[in-house]
Amino acid sequence: MAKIIATINLKGGVAKTTTTVGLAETLACEFDKRVLVIDLDPQTNATTMLIQEEKWRELNNKELTTARLFKDSKLAMNERKFDLRNTIQYGVSSIDKVKKLDLLPSSLELIEIQDNLTSIYRGRFNAITPVDILKRAINEVVDNYDYILIDCPPNLGTITLNGLRISDGYIIPTIPDVLSTYGIPQVVKWISEFSSEIDKEIKPIGIVITKYSSNSSVHKTTIKELELERDVKLFKTKFIQCNDLAKAAEYTEVNTLAKKWGYGEKHYDLFIEFAKEFMGVCNDEFGV
């Protein structure tokens, strides 16, 4: 059965999506894992990184995205249009050697849908809740994967709750500065309370340092403070600030993972290190 891990941070611009996509591609390409990325962020960045924007627009026009799933929550069962098998995009990535990575794409429409999820169709016995929408939808395919990575929106709304509802744990990508790390205690506390309420453990897997500058005293000080964090461990791998990162986030067809993320002491090597560390932690926590 897949281990389902969410990525979350309330601060935007911390490379949350880049970390999610790079980890997914590395697990699928270098470690032969079957991986599904679920994009719940209405910015759709994970989606457009893994498929061309033109392809995303085509899917969006056909309502083959997570937006259709959440729209259907207001409809009776016999009126629903969401088709999981057709909505999942198989064998995605701009990297030719990545063969085992699938995607459940997002949509800009999630911005509007988010505010209306309290009035969903709850069934004859009032047993369906707003946070169970995604869980009920993907249950049939969970066993097809080794890992499912969920790119959550930078908020604590109902769509984020749907991602956490099915997650075994979560990681928090962050730049090691005050603004990016300020909300981490709130996230950990909030998820812990949600976990207790639904009676399902959602473990804090770790904090991932992104856009790290070894010349920054602020970064060094913040990392020392994060190392003292008792509720969430800090991954050893640190993703350095890299001018080529924005270019890597664009959909450009390449042959290998190294070609996309950079050779030498760049993100290719770091994603290999991080994937190993990530799998090790998951093995310790969940017995993968």
| pLDDT tens figures, 58-110 | 999 999 999 999 999 888 778 889 999 999 999 999 999 999 999 999 999 99
What mean pLDDT, rounded, does the chain reach? Answer: 92
| 212 has a pLDDT exceeding 60 | yes
The predicted pLDDT at position 288 comes to 56
Tokens for 83? Answer: 């088709």
What the chain holds in terms of domains, given with CATH numbers, is 3-279 (3.40.50.300)
Alpha-carbon distance of 244 to 165, in angstroms, equals: 35
| pLDDT tens figures, 10-29 | 999 999 999 999 999 999 99
| 125 has a pLDDT exceeding 60 | no
| 114 has a pLDDT exceeding 90 | no
Alpha-carbon distance of 90 to 146, in angstroms, equals: 15
The predicted model scores a pTM of 0.95
Q: What does each C-alpha distance from 138 to 142, 162, 193, 233 come to in angstroms?
A: 6, 11, 24, 29
* Closest listed residue to residue 202, CA positions, set 231, 172, 169, 232: 169
Q: Which residues pair with 95 in a beta bridge?
A: 254
Q: How many helices (H) and strands (E) does the chain have?
A: 14, 7
Q: Which residues pair with 207 in a beta bridge?
A: 172, 234
How many alpha carbons lie under 13 Å from residue 217 in its C-beta half-sphere? 0
